[in-house]
Structure 1
Amino acid sequence: MKKPSGLELLSDSTHIQRMEMKATKTLKLRVKDKHARLLSEWAKAVNFTWNYINELSERSIREKGAFLSAYDIQKYTDGAGSLIGLHSHTVQQVGAEYVARRKQFKKRQLKWRKTSGRQPQPGLGAIQKRLCKVERWSHHIK
C-alpha cells in the first residue's frame, strides 16, 4: 500500500478532524497546611509586583504621556524575581496580564492589589499557579 502524500492527507476530512482535536487535562491537588505559608508568600509577591507595575505605568503616562507595553515593563522588572522570591517568568506574566487588563478596561491605572489579613486578594492566583514553576516531589512543593 502506498503511503499518502501531504496533499492527500490534507484532502482527507477524517485526518483533518483528528488534527483539530485537542485535549486538556486538569490536575487537582489538595494543598496542605504546611504549604499555605509558601503559597501566601508567593501571592504577596505577585501583589507587590502588580502594585509596582501599576505605579510605574501611571507615572509613565503622567510624565511621558505614553502607555507602557509588556515589553517596556519587562525592562523595568529585570532581576526583580530573585529579589522578591518569584520566578522571572512569573514577573513577566504579571506585567503582560496588567497590560492586557489595562487595555481591556481602557483605564490609565487599575486598582491596587492588597493583601488584607492572612488572605491575599484573589484573582491573580492563576498566574502563580501556572507560572511559578511549582514542582511537586513526594509531598513537597518547591
Structure 2
Amino acid sequence: MYYKRYLKERKQFGAPLAAFQITQQKLVQMMGNIQAMILVGWRLCKLYESGKMTAGRVSLGKAWITSKARETVSLGRELLGGNGILTDFLVAKAFCDLEPIHTYEGTYEINSLVAAREITGISSFKPAALTQRSRM
C-alpha cells in the first residue's frame, strides 16, 4: 500500500503524516470501507448461491459499494494532498477507473430506485401512464 510508505516518509511540522490523528482516522475509515465493501459483495454471492438474490438486493449492493468506493478514493486523495492528483501515486487513476463503474453498472440513482421499489412495492422510475387528457 503506497499510502503507508508515503505517509511514513512525508514529514509535516517535523513529524511524519502518519503520526497525525486525522491521518490515522482517515486510514481507518478507508480500511473499514474496503472491508465492508468486500463483505457486502461476499454476502451478495452467498444470496445468489442460495437462490435468494433479488434485483433490489443487487441494486442496493451496487449503489452502496460504489458510493463507499468513491468515498474511499476521495479520502486517499485527501491523505496525499497535492500528490493525490499526480499520476505517480495512482489516486487520480483510481478516480478515473471508479467513475465508469459508478455510472455504467447502473447509476447510483437508478440502483437506489430499484432497491426502493423492492422495499416499497412502488416503482418511482417508470413514468405513470397518461390516462387523462389535457384540458388545454
Same-fold call, TM cutoff 0.5: no
Pick the structure with more helix per residue: 2
Class of the TM-score when normalised by the shorter of the 2 chains: 0.3 to 0.5
Normalised to the residue count of structure 2, the TM-score between the two structures is 0.35
